[in-house]
Amino acid sequence: MPLHPPAQAGQRFDEIDTPSLILDLDAFERNLVTMAAYTQGHGVRLRPHAKTHKSPEIALRQIAHGAVGQCCQKVSEAEILVEGGVTDVLVSNEIAGAAKLDRLAKLARQAKITLCVDHLDGVREAAEAAARHDVVLDVLVEIDVGGRRCGVAPGETAVRLAEAIARSNTLRFGGLQAYHGTAQHMRSIDERREAIERAGLGARNTVERLAQAGLACGVVSGAGTGTFEIESQSGIWNEIQAGSYIFMDADYARNRQADGSPFRTFEHALFILTGVMSKPVPDRAVVDAGHKAAAIDSGLPVPYRREGVVYTKPSDEHGVLTGDPAVLPHRGDRLLLVPGHCDPTVNLHDWYVCVRGLHTADAHVEALWPVAARGALT
Ligand code: PLP
Ligand code: MN
């Protein structure tokens, strides 16, 4: 039996079932415009990360606002994006093994596909898969600019890999993947700036050595929502991979701007709508959204515009609200939660319930969009 969707287009906001994933279309659209204007104003390309939204509906809206394509982490995400009409996908990740690389090479018949490598074996495997499918794959060399995840050291090792790519006749050397993940949530702008400036030294050095070796570095791609302004102004990066900016989660709201105030460049556009199912005592309300409805790896969900109400103690299907009984909601009441971390929260839901006029008396469901790449892990 198919699952009941939590809402239908045309319904009033108060008819939406709980718990459900709410997209505030007005705030989302303003976030799209803000990022598009910023990146265009600084002469850098925008290639938003689809691991955040897992939705061709959203990808196509980003592209309509000037994004050059999408990033994703997984081959299965790339497949869903291409099927949904995206024609330029960067898998901002290393892909190992013939089975996955064959799928990626097949996709390159329909769309421009780029992947990252940080080992000579990765170059060889990608070249062999491209040859089997008679396509050319674009390849970025990933350098570790401080995140200590994937990537070779900046400098000569990266040049050796780029030369190996350039020698292959089924691969095209595209440039560098230089993403600094751990810098994104450093709370102060000074810490983020220092981390990205240091990352930029390694990236610039690599670009210069590549040029000395006769290899033009067309793309230097990286940056997330926490640091995109720094990369955009650097003169080194020319492509921005931010993902979370469209939704703006509670963890990003804990970042600080230059004057110490909360990071407010983007608006909260993604929420969990939850309902109070029990209020056994006056100072405890129990809601129907636990950690199967909102990811808690980067902090608990935060009640939205509910001064004094604190979400505590998530279990699988329950959350406990505490606070002064005078401000706690009652059984049957509903409230919005801002998820701690947007990307894994989205992956818990089948549908975006897209709401127009969310904070108005006319709030209503404009559309339901599937989280099409939900669970796309391979
Ligand atoms: N690029 C890469 C390679 C990432 O892993 C991520 C997120 O972790 C991003 C870009 C986007 O970051 P954010 O969603 O924080 O903007
Ligand atoms: Mn994230």
Select from 210, 242, 274 the last residue of a domain.
242
Residue 376 lies in a domain: no
Cβ contact 22:11 at 8 Å: no
Residue 29 lies in a domain: no
Q: Give the structural domain span for 290.
A: 11-21+264-370
Domain count, the chain: 2
Q: What is the CATH number of the domain that holds 354?
A: 2.40.37.20
Question: How close is the Cα of 41 to the center of ligand 1, in Å?
Answer: 21
Does 294 share its domain with 213? no
Rounded Cα distance, 220 and 141, in Å: 10
Nearest to 330 by CA among 289, 288, 282: 282
Relative to the CA of 244, which ligand 1 atom is closest? 14
Q: What is the CATH number of the domain that holds 179?
A: 3.20.20.10
Does 237 share its domain with 139? yes
Minimal-distance CA residue to ligand 1 atom 4: 181
Which element (helix H / strand E) includes 58?
Answer: helix 56-64
Does 193 share its domain with 277? no
370 strand-pairing partners = 351
Helix (H, G, I), strand (E, B) or coil at 285: strand
Q: Which residues contact 359 (CB under 8 A, 6 or more apart)?
A: 24
Question: How close is the Cα of 134 to the center of ligand 1, in Å?
Answer: 31
Does 287 share its domain with 227? no
Question: How close is the Cα of 297 to the center of ligand 2, in Å?
Answer: 10
Question: How close is the Cα of 333 to the center of ligand 1, in Å?
Answer: 35
Does 190 share its domain with 329? no
Q: What is the pTM of this model?
A: 0.98
Select from 211, 242, 273 the last residue of a domain.
242
Which element (helix H / strand E) includes 59?
Answer: helix 56-64
Rounded Cα distance, 158 and 186, in Å: 27
Residue 165 lies in a domain: yes
Rounded Cα distance, 170 and 193, in Å: 38
- Among 47, 116, 180, 184, name the best residue to mutate to test ligand 1's pocket (greatest count of ligand atoms within 8 A of Cβ): 184
Does 222 share its domain with 296? no
Q: Which residues contact 176 (CB under 8 A, 6 or more apart)?
A: 140, 141, 142, 143, 158, 203, 206, 207, 217, 219, 220, 221
Does 229 share its domain with 327? no
Rounded Cα distance, 126 and 131, in Å: 9
Residue 215 lies in a domain: yes
Residue 2's pLDDT is what? 81
Residues with CB under 5 A from ligand 2 (ion): 343
Residue 279's pLDDT is what? 98
Question: How close is the Cα of 182 to the center of ligand 1, in Å?
Answer: 10
What is the largest distance, in Å, between two alpha-carbon atoms of the chain?
72
Question: How close is the Cα of 270 to the center of ligand 2, in Å?
Answer: 13
Does 272 share its domain with 238? no
Does 277 share its domain with 319? yes
Single-letter amino acid, residue 132:
R
How long, in residues, is the chain? 378
User: Which ligand is closest to the CA of 231, given by its number?
Assistant: 1
Query: What does the CA dihedral 36, 37, 40, 46 come to, rounded to 10 degrees?
Result: -20
312 strand-pairing partners = 320
Residue 122 lies in a domain: yes
Residue 1's pLDDT is what? 84
Does 66 share its domain with 99? yes
Q: Which two tokens stand for residue 94?
A: 């290393």
Could you please report the per-residue DSSP string of 179-219?
--STTTT-SSHHHHHHHHHHHHHHHHHHHHHHHHTT----E
Which amino acids bring their CB within 6 angstroms of ligand 1? 49, 52, 71, 92, 179, 181, 184, 224-225, 241-244
3-state SS of 12-46?
EHHHCCCCEEEEEHHHHHHHHHHHHHHHHHCCCEE
Report the chain (378 residues): mean pLDDT per 10 consecutive residues: 93 98 99 98 98 98 98 98 98 98 98 98 98 98 98 98 98 98 98 98 98 97 98 98 98 96 96 98 98 98 98 97 97 98 98 98 98 98
Residue 40 lies in a domain: no
With b for 16 or more beta-carbon neighbours within 10 A and e for fewer, the 17-44 pattern comes to ebbbbbbbbbbbeebbeebbebbeebeb
Minimal-distance CA residue to ligand 1 atom 3: 92
Does 183 share its domain with 70? yes
Residue 297 lies in a domain: yes
Q: Which residues contact 16 (CB under 8 A, 6 or more apart)?
A: 6, 7, 22, 273, 353, 355, 365
Rounded Cα distance, 8 and 220, in Å: 43
Residue 36 lies in a domain: no
Does 325 share its domain with 212? no
